[in-house]
Chain A
Amino acid sequence: MSVIPTSASGAKAPDLPLAASARYRLVRKARDGERASWLLSSPLVLVLGIFLVLPILMIVVVSFWGATEFSIYPAFEFDNYQFLFGSAVTYQVFFKTFVFAAITWVFTLAIGFTVAYFLAFHVRSLTWQIALFLLCTIPFWTSNIIRMISWVPFLGRNGIANSALLQMGLIDQPLEWLLFSDFAVVLAFVHLYTLFMVVPIFNTMMRIDKSLVEAARDAGASGLQILTNVIIPLAKPGIMIGSIFVVTLVMGDFITVRFMSGSQSANVGRLISNDIALLQYPSAAATAVVLLAMVLIMIAIMLRFVDIRKEL
């Protein structure tokens, strides 16, 4: 912009109006540009504001409200939080939620990484890569609930798994812990969420230049050394994105735990859903706020390890 005044002052008198109008046009152009960027970003800002920020603020506000057995009333009191942190059940349930998340994370990572590795490095043709990848997604054409329920006839007391084991003579009594147990919960979690691990890891692996693997082989690296020195470091962002998906999904789940544990196990999601069923919204809101804070802290810790920005 500094060019304009100089040229205007250096110009002869007849040119001055021209220069001034050019300057005006430039200023207007800049203002228009600014306005355009505000307009362009406003739909997203509105959507996120109305559907994300506002509800969360609502929850935070309600978490300070008071409740009796039959009513809730606006207030600013810490009773909900006091009750929450004062109860041993809270700590147990939060601990259980973390345990579920950790175990599910380990299994989904192991399976997801293996599947992605197979797809990216062992399947040679792009056609087969795409075909097999789509095959992985087919179960996701049905709802979570259906996929969960489909485990029941398999794992039940007289289910396929038990009758097969009985017939083979490996057990005398049907295994009780197969269904309606923590085992069943973790099994369903792994089944439901492994794809969320596969997709981002596969995505980063496909971006690894295959000649890097050759270069490593040329330098004498064994298969395992290639994996630990080249592929895992370069797939880290994908691993991290997948981990965030899985951890947040498991931490926020309540239906899987209810179904697969036969209501014998609890996690934070179920705590909240119970409160809601009893119309104890302030208490549910307080638990939700604590859970949200926990999940955000976990994600913040994960992001400290890996820079995922280059993936986005």
Chain B
Amino acid sequence: MSRQNALELAQLTKKYGETIAVDGINQLIASGTYTCLLGPSGCGKSSTLRMIAGHETVSSGDIVLAGTNITDLPPARRGTAMMFQNYALFPHLSVIDNVAFSLKMKGIARDERRAQARTLLELVDMASYGDRLPAQLSGGQQQRIALARALITSPQILLLDEPLSALDPFLRLRMRSELKRLQLSLGISFIHVTHSQDEAMALADQIIVMNGGRIEQAGTPHEIFDAPRTEFVARFMGGHNIIALDGAKYAVRADRISLASVPLAAGRDAVVKAIEYLGTTVNVSLDMEGAPEITATVSDSAFFAAPFEAGQSVSVAWQRADAHELAA
């Protein structure tokens, strides 16, 4: 991960009147990486992306790309390209002219720009659709065209605003792997805004979790999931129990909690409330002192080797290293 062509956000702030959408965030995004901005709606992730793209003015702070301050540059001169949530394809232009649009704006002759657009269409496997209108394409196909149109400007960074949210679940999975493949083969940075943890974990080299206009935590998917730094991250990523002990709060992964009907070393007493069978795993809901609502995820083989029942008293334990203290 080189710092050379990195994108740097410094004290980046966006205010809409009195409301603060993005609150002085600082972040380094290395070049050639896949980064996901993750958070619930209204957390400031889209505003951040749109500021990087240049479609939203920056209230204060700077955006630096490869050593150049691009904060006040127009969108097309930043080295970024954006893929819009609803794809924003021009409905009156054929697929090939949509892809060639930015070249037309630069005044490149028709034959040349079409030839270039054709190579981009080949990249996204849409070469045979050049003459169609966007309305004649399916959602997934429209997305490929939007990708090709954004990539024809040879951006250093591709910005994707919830690119998969308009697709059905099956297509979403397919496009997800295709985005990753494309990012690896092009070697440029992708910054992808999403509210789906699964999407972020599957795609990202780096996840930036945002909440209330601030960055809660940034790190690799493993870091974020395994050791959430705040209660918000633990709850938002899911699969964690928040346990209050000795005046502090800890996050413990549900699958790191051991259960036994006999007392465990350093074990705590709890009562089984409910059991949820999920196939490969079983979720056991427990009522424990200091944590009235915790879940232990047990593999199905372990569960059926020694099943529990609702109402049963059990002993709950976890490794010390698995309990991550949360920032207040």
Q: What B residues does A220 contact at CB under 8 A?
A: 74-77, 102, 105-106, 153
Q: What A residues does B153 contact at CB under 8 A?
A: 219-220
Q: What B residues does A234 contact at CB under 8 A?
A: 91-92
Asked if A311 is an interface residue, CB under 8 A from chain B, the answer is no
Which one, B74, B75, B77, B84, contacts A211 given CB within 8 A? Answer: B84
Interface string of A203-238 (1 = CB under 8 A from B): 000000101101111111110010001100110000
A217 to B150 alpha-carbon distance, docked (Å): 12
Q: What B residues does A216 contact at CB under 8 A?
A: 90, 101, 105
Q: What A residues does B86 contact at CB under 8 A?
A: 209, 211
Which one, B85, B92, B104, B105, contacts A233 given CB within 8 A? Answer: B92
A230 to B149 alpha-carbon distance, docked (Å): 15
Residue in B closest to A215 when the chains form the complex, CB atoms: B88
Asked if B55 is an interface residue, CB under 8 A from chain A, the answer is yes
Which one, B88, B89, B105, contacts A214 given CB within 8 A? Answer: B88
Which one, B76, B90, B92, B149, contacts A217 given CB within 8 A? Answer: B76
Q: What A residues does B76 contact at CB under 8 A?
A: 217-221
Q: Known contacts being A220-B105, A225-B105, A229-B104, is A209 close to B75, with CB within 8 Å? A: no
Q: What A residues does B106 contact at CB under 8 A?
A: 220
Instruction: Report B134 CB to chain A, min CB distance, Å.
Output: 11
A159 to B169 alpha-carbon distance, docked (Å): 72
Which one, A212, A221, A233, contacts B88 given CB within 8 A? Answer: A212
Q: Known contacts being A217-B74, A221-B105, is A209 close to B92, with CB within 8 Å? A: no
Are B84 and A214 interface neighbours, CB within 8 A? yes
Q: What A residues does B89 contact at CB under 8 A?
A: 215
Q: Count chain A residues whose beta carbon lies closer than 8 angstroms to a beta carbon of B.
A: 17
Q: Known contacts being A212-B90, A229-B104, is A219 close to B149, with CB within 8 Å? A: yes
Number of interchain pairs (Cβ within 8 Å): 63
Are B82 and A218 interface neighbours, CB within 8 A? yes
Instruction: Report A306 CB to chain B, min CB distance, Å.
Output: 11
Q: What B residues does A229 contact at CB under 8 A?
A: 90, 101, 104-105
Are A215 and B84 interface neighbours, CB within 8 A? yes
Interface string of B90-107 (1 = CB under 8 A from A): 111000000001101110
Q: What A residues does B101 contact at CB under 8 A?
A: 216, 219, 221, 229
A212 to B280 alpha-carbon distance, docked (Å): 46
Q: What A residues does B75 contact at CB under 8 A?
A: 214, 217-218, 220
Asked if B81 is an interface residue, CB under 8 A from chain A, the answer is yes
Q: Known contacts being A220-B105, A229-B104, is A215 close to B90, with CB within 8 Å? A: yes
Q: What B residues does A214 contact at CB under 8 A?
A: 55, 75, 82, 84, 88
A14 to B32 alpha-carbon distance, docked (Å): 77
Asked if B30 is an interface residue, CB under 8 A from chain A, the answer is no
Q: Which of B54, B81, B101, B104 has the most chain A CB within a 10 Å cutoff? A: B101
Residue in A closest to B84 when the chains form the complex, CB atoms: A211
Which one, A218, A225, A230, contacts B55 given CB within 8 A? Answer: A218
Q: What A residues does B55 contact at CB under 8 A?
A: 214, 217-218
Instruction: Report A105 CB to chain B, min CB distance, Å.
Output: 23
Instruction: Report A241 CB to chain B, min CB distance, Å.
Output: 17
A234 to B55 alpha-carbon distance, docked (Å): 22
Q: Which of B82, B90, B150 has the most chain A CB within a 10 Å cutoff? A: B90
Interface string of B57-77 (1 = CB under 8 A from A): 000000000000000001111
B: which residues have CB within 8 A of A?
53-55, 74-77, 81-82, 84-86, 88-92, 101-102, 104-106, 149-150, 153
A: which residues have CB within 8 A of B?
209, 211-212, 214-222, 225, 229-230, 233-234
Beyond the given A218-B81, A221-B101, A222-B105, could you list 17 further A-B residue pairs with CB under 8 A, ordered by the A residue number? A209-B88, A211-B85, A211-B88, A214-B55, A215-B82, A215-B84, A217-B76, A218-B54, A218-B55, A218-B102, A218-B150, A219-B105, A220-B74, A220-B77, A220-B105, A220-B106, A233-B92
CB pairs A–B below 8 angstroms (27 shown): A209-B86, A211-B84, A211-B85, A211-B86, A211-B88, A212-B90, A214-B55, A215-B82, A215-B89, A215-B149, A216-B101, A216-B105, A217-B55, A217-B76, A218-B55, A219-B76, A220-B76, A220-B77, A220-B102, A220-B105, A220-B106, A221-B105, A222-B105, A225-B105, A229-B101, A234-B91, A234-B92
Per CB-CB distance, the 8 closest pairs between chain A and chain B, nearest first, are: A220-B76, A219-B102, A215-B88, A211-B88, A221-B105, A233-B92, A220-B105, A218-B75
